[in-house]
A and B are shown apart, each in its own frame.
Chain A
Amino acid sequence: MNLTARISKIIPFSCVDGPGNRLVIFMQGCNFNCPNCHNPHTINHCNHCGICVDQCPTKALHIEPNGAVENEVVWQSDLCIECDQCTYICPHQSSPKVRTYSLEELLDRIRENQVFLTGITVSGGEASLQLPFIIALFKVIKTDPELSRLTCLLDSNGSLNISAWLSLFDYLDGVMIDLKAWQEEIHQYLTGKYNHRVITSISLLAKANKLAEVRLLCIPGYTDYEENIDELAAFLNTLKPMPLIRLNAFQHHGVVGDARLWSSAKKTDLESLAKQLLDRGVEKIQLPSVFY
């Protein structure tokens, strides 16, 4: 099978996507549409409208006729200075720099960096939309003598269904899931989707001992964690073993559109939430080391 993936970016060093140093693969495309997304250019696939082409200061973008697609925006990485102007102005929440990788190409990237890595994390976008590729990737890593020491983590919005999760379990070390709001309507407002699947996924992963982290992104005036603190804490307490509960603070970095006008979360906001969770027996709480 000739598997490929649409990948927005690969970075060989991250200390914020799981334990140790991780190579992070940002997959393109997301099924949520959060107004506060800090990587909005990973949401959609490029529609080759070409608006970015003239904006590129180094002419790293051009349009080529390409068979079925009338015009294709082509990115030349060797001319790119990574100024991010193209993704900033994209009206379609996408990027002309997304590349198709074969499994072998991606494995080459991992192999050339493996000595520096504790593991790999597949993130996005919503990585699980390209599930067959991820299963194949993790399977190779876990069965390759040189790579099998690497831990395989998935960063997900939790929208996958149960049978899809089960197909990953043999090759997966852990999943980090965002629970973006407690009430259905609030979750719908903040993501475009209801959270029933997310909550089911969290419970399922915890039972299978595959839940590395639950993340609560605190947006003052928008998220509803404190309003529903008793129910939220009771739910988290059902998770055995208890995963790390990471409290994140909403920041404006990367955000476009109206959400830039939303207030960022302050240290005191997170400390207040952390205290209320602690008071209700939720223990493994991690606060950010940095507030901007």
Chain B
Amino acid sequence: MNLEQRFRKIATDPNLSAKQKSQYLALEADASMDYMPLSQPLKEAKEAGVICDMFEGNAPFKPRYVLPDYGKFLAQGSAYLELEPAQDFDDALNALTIIYHHVPSVTNIPVYLGHLDNILLPYVKDLDDEQIYNKLKRFWIMLDRCLPDAFMHVNIGPTDNVICRTILKVDADLKQVAPNLTFMYDPDISPDDLLRQACDNICQTSKPHIANYPIHADTFDGKGFGIVSCYNALPLAGGANTLVRMNLKALALEANSITHFFTEILPYYNNLMFELIELRSQFLHQESHFFESFLVKEGLIEEDRFAPMYGIYGMAEAVEALLGKSTEQGQKNSVQYALTQNKQAIRYGHEEKANQLGYRISATLSGLVTSRPVTHGYQGHALLHAQGGISLDIGVTPGVRIPYGKEPDPVTHIKAVVGHHAYYPSGISDILTLDRTVKDNPEAMYQLCRAGLSVGLREFTANVESNDLVRVTGYMVKLSDIAAFKEIGSRMNTTGLGAEAVSNTGILTRKPRVMSQEMEAGAFKAKIVEEVDSEPA
């Protein structure tokens, strides 16, 4: 099928809205340009799917994630947008509504909506609780209906304040897909009953996600950070210029032993990762003219606060494959080997030996990423990220998660994964699925959350089995929308990704749960292309 036919297929799709069609047409056009010049080894790794650019486009003209300093924007107004400084709450909400339409991202919809309690508190003045509730409720409905993408993310906490409390209440009452929500928790600042309110919300809506504020705050400088999209932690007034990711499962399958993996395979692909990071970020920073935007001129973002994200996934399969190789070589004649063959693989997330190899891989990756400067990075470096997966991943588990449907109980689960968390400054998400009986006992959610954060989880994310609203890979979808999607299409841009993820990745088999990771608009495009290509000529 030629380019013109692909365009036509999108233009005549019965289930996409006009706006969605425009977006997919643009993605197709982008993909029709030549890619930046790649070395032969990188070209091969990319074609084999060992390294991928997350379908960010062949000529990156915008950063993947942008985190403007909205507080500064409200205080100073904007010459470019012809806005005066906000004087009151209505001004502030109105100004935010306007600027959101001017903040690019990989999906064209802003992934970061701001640390809303921080930035709105100065404008509350003498509004009473009911007025605040009504204004925020309208704002929330506007976000869900006008910016229909579950990747966009609001941050609140760690302080206890009226905006934080009201947002939790509005979010629980409306149970919308968008926006996604992160509550920052600091045991020294956030009162217990505020964390309890957040955990009650999780029992109802699987939101918010709880971020370990002290750990993230130590990772970034005093200017701050935000949690965006599918649990990416990034510098405030900056963001991610690109996200390149590596399939650890593929690396493990290529290695002929654990030693070979660490001494040859990993360093080889690490070099290719940096090659792709440099190509993509240099194009964005040096050729696209993105950093001449008003966002830079007005001081809302700073070019040197953008970092490449070095993503990895498939840790579970990599560990099991590597341990399988070592068992074959070392113990083939032993009785123990004969016995273990009765059982399948040494299971990641369940057995200490597997978990320890996983931590060793994470530590090694961390060393590789922190020791190598990049041309355009945060403090000169890329940031390691346990990537949540995309809807096209089949047979590979996101990030460092335990495979869907094979998770141990939530306490064992947390203890198995927490050893990875220190190594992933730009985010690592795991999703605990709790069965629906927890709805009668939100104290159990609270206990699990508080304990998980206290032992070192960077973030705590849970799904409750029977909630209609669930995380697919980090973004939210309604299960009822997924069921309806194939019939009638969906108003939400991300439901299509959710539907794909459900049918491709088995995420609904996650024991009592649905899952989450992150997946991106480009994946939808790839899916369309795939379908088009497989049509009979």
Contacts and interface: CB of A to CB of B under 8 A. Distances in A.
B411 A79 contact: no
B409 A289 contact: no
13 contacts: A12-B412, A16-B437, A20-B447, A21-B411, A21-B447, A57-B342, A60-B342, A76-B339, A79-B339, A79-B342, A116-B452, A289-B440, A290-B466
A118 B438 CA distance: 14
B440 A286 contact: yes
A81 B341 CA distance: 12
Interface string A47-71: 0000000000111100000000000
B437 A15 contact: yes
A286 B384 CA distance: 47
A117 B415 CA distance: 13
B440 A118 contact: no
B448 A116 contact: yes
B414 interface: yes
A59 B342 contact: yes
A115 interface: yes
B452 to A, nearest CB: 8
Interface string B438-468: 1111011111100110110000000000100
A216 B332 CA distance: 56
B430 to A, nearest CB: 15
Contacts of B434: 15
Contacts of B447: 20-21, 116-118
Interface residues of A, number: 26
Contacts, number: 72
Nearest to B409: A13
Contacts of A60: 342
B455 A115 contact: yes
Given A20-B443, A59-B339, A116 B451 contact: yes
Contact of B446 (A20, A113, A289): A20
Nearest to A22: B444
B437 A290 contact: yes
Contact of B343 (A11, A58, A116, A117): A58
B527 interface: no
Size band of the interface chain B makes with A = 20 to 34
Contacts of A288: 440
Contacts of A11: 409
A116 to B, nearest CB: 4
A91 interface: no
5 smallest CB-CB distances across A and B, nearest first, come from A15-B444, A12-B411, A20-B443, A116-B451, A21-B444
Interface in B404-428: 409-412, 414
A118 B444 contact: yes
A289 B438 CA distance: 9
B72 to A, nearest CB: 40
Given A11-B409, A16-B441, 18 more contacts: A12-B411, A15-B435, A15-B438, A15-B441, A15-B444, A16-B440, A20-B446, A21-B411, A21-B447, A21-B448, A22-B444, A79-B343, A115-B454, A116-B451, A118-B447, A286-B440, A288-B440, A289-B439
A168 to B, nearest CB: 24
A132 interface: no
A254 interface: no
Interface centre among A15, A20, A76 (most CB of B within 10 A): A15
Interface string A21-40: 11000000000000000000
A19 interface: yes
Interface string A179-198: 00000000000000000000
Interface in A274-292: 286, 288-290
B325 interface: no
Contacts of A15: 434-435, 437-438, 440-441, 444-445
A286 B412 CA distance: 29
Nearest to B347: A81
Contacts of A115: 451, 454-455
A215 B340 CA distance: 44
B436 interface: yes
Contacts of A81: 343-344
A118 B409 CA distance: 16
Interface in A130-179: none
Contacts of B435: 15
Interface in A1-20: 11-16, 19-20
A113 B409 CA distance: 12
Contact of A20 (B441, B452, B466): B441
A226 B340 CA distance: 54
Contacts of A21: 411, 443-444, 447-448
Contacts of B438: 15
A58 B340 CA distance: 9
A118 B466 CA distance: 24
Nearest to A246: B440
A116 B436 contact: no
A211 B414 CA distance: 33
A212 to B, nearest CB: 13
Interface in A78-98: 79, 81
A58 B339 CA distance: 8
Contacts of B440: 15-16, 286, 288-289
A59 to B, nearest CB: 5
Nearest to A76: B339
Contacts of B443: 19-21, 118
A15 B462 CA distance: 14
A12 B344 CA distance: 25
B29 to A, nearest CB: 50
A227 to B, nearest CB: 28
A105 B189 CA distance: 37
A184 to B, nearest CB: 32
B414 to A, nearest CB: 7
Contacts of B436: 289-290
A244 to B, nearest CB: 11
Nearest to A116: B451
Contacts of B344: 81
Contacts of A286: 440
